[in-house]
Structure 1
Amino acid sequence: MVLAAGLGQRMRPLTDERPKPMIAVNGAPMIDQLLDRLAEAGVEEAVVNLHHHAGQLRRHLEGRTRPRILFSEEETLLDTGGGVARALPQLGEAPFFVANGDVVWLDGPDPALRRLAEAWDPETMDALLLLQPGSGAFGYEGPGDFRMDPAGRLTRRAERKLAPFVYAGLHILAPRLFEDAPEGAFSLNLLWDKAAAAGRLFGLRHEGAWYHVGTPQALAAVERELALELGGWRDDTNGG
């Protein structure tokens, strides 16, 4: 599931005429780079939700075959959880990746998506989140999201406290987590809290670089950093 329906308000004016996931980072739209990596990880089918500039994004993706694209159009924004819940009939009954359509990262020695898949344990997990250490999250200035114990179980950052890990925009969910979910719009945070209360919310530390692209100024900074890091980044062997 690729979350691509949001308004991208903090990226205005760049999102006045396009959806945020279609903004290019170092020469290629963020959503194309994500889909390339999903294909490389063996994903054959991806559901993309649509709302903001829905027709433009549909036209951009509808000819794609790796992965094959299904669309879930939202007349009214359903937030992250509601968007995934609406697409459940297309996603099937097995655990699935959920990815932000605007996530930008570099892999470490092993691809992050493969590491998530290999770490997934359906006996103990309802959700497995990729986490970036806040100290190494380029462009991120928040207080963090989670603490992680030695077994990988996650707890929320306490109010007015700092937490060492930031959600990196990629995770695996079990469909059973949506049982008794609300109707309409709701955040995936609600389901993460449900999993945490049952001791079934886990994290995996990202081994590579991760970039927060929230504003036009942040985009420019990420472009400069990637140019320095990779000397004009565009690695077509892994889509990143």
Structure 2
Amino acid sequence: MVLAAGLGTRMRPLTNDRPKALVEVAGRTLVDHMLDRLAQAGVETAVVNVHAFADRLEDHLKARTAAPTIVISDERGELLETGGGLRKARPLLGDEPVFVANIDSVWTEDGDSAIASLAKAWDPERMDVCLLLARLDRTLGFDGAGDFFLADDGVLTFRGEAPSAPYAYMGVHICKPDLVEGGPDGAFSLATIWRKLAPLGRVHGVVMDGFWMHVGDPGARDEAEAKLAEAEGG
């Protein structure tokens, strides 16, 4: 599932006439960057939720000729955040584990596919969620102090009251879709569920071998374009 229903307020004025998903970075929209990464990892079908400028986003997705096949989860009536969006899309997703991806992440890879490495690490017996992480010193556009500590066995601990943590969640994870069934009605964040599961050792992580760019505002978009151009040139 690709979470593309956000309002993109921090990205204004670029989102004055389009959803954040259609903001371009290095000649490709953010949603296409993510869909192409998923396709490279073998994903055949992607559910994309829509809200702001929904018609324009749907038209763009219909015009795509590359994989994956797109299925729309319509959130025009109510913005549901990450957890509520996944819950609404449950009938479209089925019961098998799913990738869930934000559209404000762009990255370069030094080796194997980051998403494929996430799938390889997935073990439903030991985990309910597995998050793709970036090393804090290999990020751009992320202004936090880190999100997680990572144990040797892959178990994640939230930063909590610590002044910093070495890893940032980079907006892509794999999970059991039924984990949202216990969530509240309406809008809610997936992080609220992760915080309940983490003390049980059910939230794991994989560190990406590459460089992550969080494209959250126009300045970060410009920095990401420069970084991608540098990577291509190098």
Q: Specify if TM > 0.5.
A: yes
The answer to whether the 8 A contact 2:90-2:177 is kept is yes
How is 1:1-240 mapped onto 2 (pairs within 5 angstroms)? 1-64=1-64, 66-74=67-75, 75-159=77-161, 161-231=163-233
Provide the C-alpha distance between the structure 2 equivalents of 1:195 and 1:64, rounded to a whole number of angstroms: 37
Aligned residue for 1:89, secondary structure, equals: helix
Aligned residue for 1:14, secondary structure, equals: coil
Provide the C-alpha distance between the structure 1 equivalents of 2:51 and 2:203, rounded to a whole number of angstroms: 29
Once the two structures are TM-superposed, the CA of residue 3 in structure 1 deviates from its matched residue by 0.2
Provide the C-alpha distance between the structure 2 equivalents of 1:141 and 1:193, rounded to a whole number of angstroms: 21
TM-score by length of 1: 0.93
| Structure 1 stretches of at least 4 aligned residues deviating more than 3 Å after TM superposition | none
The answer to whether the 8 A contact 2:138-2:210 is kept is no
The answer to whether the 8 A contact 1:177-1:195 is kept is no
Q: Say how many residue pairs are matched.
A: 232
The answer to whether the 8 A contact 1:154-1:203 is kept is yes
Task: Write out per-residue CA displacement over residues 110-147 of structure 1, whole angstroms, 9 at most, x where no aligned residue.
Answer: 00111011110011010000011112111222111111
Task: Write out per-residue CA displacement over residues 178-212 of structure 1, whole angstroms, 9 at most, x where no aligned residue.
Answer: 23211110001012112213210000001001002
Provide the C-alpha distance between the structure 1 equivalents of 2:26 and 2:233, rounded to a whole number of angstroms: 10
Amino acid at match of 2:166: P
Once the two structures are TM-superposed, the CA of residue 51 in structure 1 deviates from its matched residue by 0.4
Amino acid at match of 1:179: E
Once the two structures are TM-superposed, the CA of residue 20 in structure 1 deviates from its matched residue by 0.8
TM-score by length of 2: 0.95
Q: Which runs of 5+ in 2 are unaligned?
A: none
Identity of aligned residues (%): 51
Provide the C-alpha distance between the structure 2 equivalents of 1:117 and 1:108, rounded to a whole number of angstroms: 17
Once the two structures are TM-superposed, the CA of residue 159 in structure 1 deviates from its matched residue by 2.3
Provide the C-alpha distance between the structure 2 equivalents of 1:112 and 1:21, rounded to a whole number of angstroms: 21
Provide the C-alpha distance between the structure 2 equivalents of 1:148 and 1:163, rounded to a whole number of angstroms: 9
Distance 1:165 1:185, change over 3 A: same
RMSD between aligned alpha carbons? 1.4
Aligned residue for 1:97, secondary structure, equals: strand
Provide the C-alpha distance between the structure 2 equivalents of 1:177 and 1:215, rounded to a whole number of angstroms: 31
Distance 1:180 1:58, change over 3 A: same
The answer to whether the 8 A contact 2:148-2:158 is kept is yes
Provide the C-alpha distance between the structure 2 equivalents of 1:63 and 1:56, rounded to a whole number of angstroms: 11
